[in-house]
Amino acid sequence: MTQPALVEFRDALGVGLPLFVQCAWDAADAREDTVEICRLVIFDGSHCWQGPLCRGDLAGPLGESWRDPANLRLLQSALSSPHLSGSSFGPRAEAAWRLAEVAGTEPELELTVRFVYKEGPVAAVRAARFRAVPLAAALSGLCRAVRELQAEARAQQCRLAINRGSTRMGMSFDVFHMTHAVRKELVG
């Protein structure tokens, strides 16, 4: 799985009702219906939904063309950069969200994605559903992911500083302490 990204979908559930979506993509080849393509955690501020997006959630009209890396990249763009998806020269992807009532439980969140070609739109994901989960546990997981991303960013800064070959004593001292702090965060 890739490092999860957190993206805001403005007005996803209506005017002034954004969703914050965390996606962790799996690099595996998605050929079987049960293979997980990515794992989503979705927040609206007071509710949370989560679950996998599997090969079986991908719409049939694209058939075997899901093996084409360009289609998977287009799907990723719909969920990782919703305001910049596609270009003026090629297809773009649009993600739409809605609440789906389920008898006796919290509403599920439903995702639909379509690819828009110059010839017209094609369904890419039809009604993938994500179940409601307790908000506290989901926020705890989000905070853990943020801390991991921060630790990785610090580790990259350390590697960059070391690769630059800084010999200044002050810089070396800072790099030593940053490296120690990153190790401490990652271990416990």
DSSP-assigned states of every residue in 148-184: HHHHHHHHHHHHHHHHTT---HHHHHHHHHHHHHHHH
Same domain, 101 and 159: no
Express each pLDDT in 98-123 by its tens digit.
Answer: 998 887 788 899 999 999 888 889 89
Same domain, 172 and 92: no
- Asked if residues 106 and 47 have their Cβ atoms less than 8 Å apart, the reply is yes
Q: Domains in the chain: how many in total? A: 2
Same domain, 61 and 151: no
Domain that holds residue 173: 136-187
Q: How many CB atoms lie within 10 A of CB 2?
A: 12
Express each pLDDT in 124-171 by its tens digit.
Answer: 998 899 999 888 877 787 778 778 878 888 888 888 888 876 544 444
Collapse the DSSP code of 33 into the 3-class scheme (helix H, G, I; strand E, B; otherwise coil) and give the result. coil
Q: What CA–CA distance (Å, rounded) separates 37 from 30?
A: 6
Same domain, 117 and 142: no
Same domain, 157 and 169: yes
